[in-house]
C-alpha cells in the first residue's frame, strides 16, 4: 500500500484566484497546500488583484503560500516585503513560468540558463532566514541539463522543498513530460522534491508515485481544473459517482458565480467572460452539446439556461 502524499494545487494565472480557491476548498478539498498565482511588479507597483488575492482575510483555505516571480533579488524583495506585511511566513519563488513575454526578461523559466542570475535571485533565501522558501522550476529553458548545472546552487540553500515540472520552458505545455530528466534531477537534488506535470487521473498520481517512491508530494494544476475532485479521489482512493460530482460541481459553480457577480463591476459581459474560464479546462463526463452551449452562450441569460441544462442532466 502506497503512502498518501501531500497534494499541492499549482497556481494558474487567470484561473486559480482567491474566489476559485475558496470555492474549491469548500466544495471538493483534498488539497494540502494552495498557492497564489505569482505576484509580480508591473511598472514598479502591484496589481490590485494580486494584493486582493493574497489578503489573508479574503482566503479561507487551510494552507496558502504566496508565489512571487522576479528576475532579481531587488524586485523579489519588494514583493516579499508585501508578503511579510500581510503576515506570511512562507513564500514560493517561480522559476518555471514558460510564457515568452516574461521569460525573455529572465522571469520564470527564462532565468534557468543563467546560473549567476539564479544565484543572485536566490540570495533572497539567505537574506530572509525567518521566511520558509520553496522554489518551482522546470528542467531548463532550452536544455534539460540546465537544472543539473543549478543543482549545486539550489542544494546550498535552506529550502523547504523544490517542485519540478519536467518540461523545458520553450515547450510551454506542449509535448511529453521528460521523466528521465526528472529522475536525473532527483538524483542530485538534496531537498524534498515535488513532482508537477500532466497529472490528469488517479492512475497518473499512482503511476508517478510508484515510479518515484521518494517524492515529497505531487503538484497538480490543469488536471485539477479539468477534474476538481482529483485530489479528493486520491485521498479517498475512489472515483466520485456522477451524482456526487454533479452536486459538488454545482455547489462550487454557484459559489464562484455569486462572488464574481458581487465583485466584478463590468456588468453581464464581464461576468459571462469570467465564468466561461471556469469551464475552459473542465471536462466532466458530460454531454458535449451541453458543454458547447455553455461555451457558445452570447449572453448571461443564455449562459444560465445552458448551466441549468448541464446540471439537470441525468
Q: Where are the domains of the chain?
A: 7-236, 242-312
Determine the pLDDT at residue 285: 59
Residues of the chain with pLDDT under 70: 1, 284-286, 314
For 74-84, what is each residue's pLDDT tens digit? 999 999 999 99
- DSSP string spanning 27-79? HT---SEEEPPPB--BTTB--HHHHHHH-GGG--SS-EE-EE--SSHHHHHHH
Determine the pLDDT at residue 148: 98
Query: Residues 156, 169: contact at Cβ < 8 Å?
Result: no
Determine the pLDDT at residue 287: 74
At a CB cut-off of 8 Å and minimum separation 6, what does 274 contact? 260, 264
Kindly report the backbone phi and psi dihedral angles of residue 250, in degrees, each rounded to the nearest multiple of 5, phi listed first. -60, -45
For 190-226, what is each residue's pLDDT tens digit? 999 999 999 999 999 999 999 999 999 999 999 999 9
For 152-195, what is each residue's pLDDT tens digit? 999 999 999 999 999 999 999 999 999 999 999 999 999 999 99
Architecture of domain 7-236: Alpha-Beta Barrel (3.20)
Determine the pLDDT at residue 314: 66
Q: C-alpha grid cell for residue 4?
A: 498518501
d(CA 32, CA 9): 8
Q: Which residues of 103-136 are buried (b: 16+ CB within 10 A; e: fewer)?
A: beebbbbbbbbbeebbbbbbebbeebeebbbbbb
Return the percentage of the chain with pLDDT > 70, whole number: 98
Amino acid at each position: 500500500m502506497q503512502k498518501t502524499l501531500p497534494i499541492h494545487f499549482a497556481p494558474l494565472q487567470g484561473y486559480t484566484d482567491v474566489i476559485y480557491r475558496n470555492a474549491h476548498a469548500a466544495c471538493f478539498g483534498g488539497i494540502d497546500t494552495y498557492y497564489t498565482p505569482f505576484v509580480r511588479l508591473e511598472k514598479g507597483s502591484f496589481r490590485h488583484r494580486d494584493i486582493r488575492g493574497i489578503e489573508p482575510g479574503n482566503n479561507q483555505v487551510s494552507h496558502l503560500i504566496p508565489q512571487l516571480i522576479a528576475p532579481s533579488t531587488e524586485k523579489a524583495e519588494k514583493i516579499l516585503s508585501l508578503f511579510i506585511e500581510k503576515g506570511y511566513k512562507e513564500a514560493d519563488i517561480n522559476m518555471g513560468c514558460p510564457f515568452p513575454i516574461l521569460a525573455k526578461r529572465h522571469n520564470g523559466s527564462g532565468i534557468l540558463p543563467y546560473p549567476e542570475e539564479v544565484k543572485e535571485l536566490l540570495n533572497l533565501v539567505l537574506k530572509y532566514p525567518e521566511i520558509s522558501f520553496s522554489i518551482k522550476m522546470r528542467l531548463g529553458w532550452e536544455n534539460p541539463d540546465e537544472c543539473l548545472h543549478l543543482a549545486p546552487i539550489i542544494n546550498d540553500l535552506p529550502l523547504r522543498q523544490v517542485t519540478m515540472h519536467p518540461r523545458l520552458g520553450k515547450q510551454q505545455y506542449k509535448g511529453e513530460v521528460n521523466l528521465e530528466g526528472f529522475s536525473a534531477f532527483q538524483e542530485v537534488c538534496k531537498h524534498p522534491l515535488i513532482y508537477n506535470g500532466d497529472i490528469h487521473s488517479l492512475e497518473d498520481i499512482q503511476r508517478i508515485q510508484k515510479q518515484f517512491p521518494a517524492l515529497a508530494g505531487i503538484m497538480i494544476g490543469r488536471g485539477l481544473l479539468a477534474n476538481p475532485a482529483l485530489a479528493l479521489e486520491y485521498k479517498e482512493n475512489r472515483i466520485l459517482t456522477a451524482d456526487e460530482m454533479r452536486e459538488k460541481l454545482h455547489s462550487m459553480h454557484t459559489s464562484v458565480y455569486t462572488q464574481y457577480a458581487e465583485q466584478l463591476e463590468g456588468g453581464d459581459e464581464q461576468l459571462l467572460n469570467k465564468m466561461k474560464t471556469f469551464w475552459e479546462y473542465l471536462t466532466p463526463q458530460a454531454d458535449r452539446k451541453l458543454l458547447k452551449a455553455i461555451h457558445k452562450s452570447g449572453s448571461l441569460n443564455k449562459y444560465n439556461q445552458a448551466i441549468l441544462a448541464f446540471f439537470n442532466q441525468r
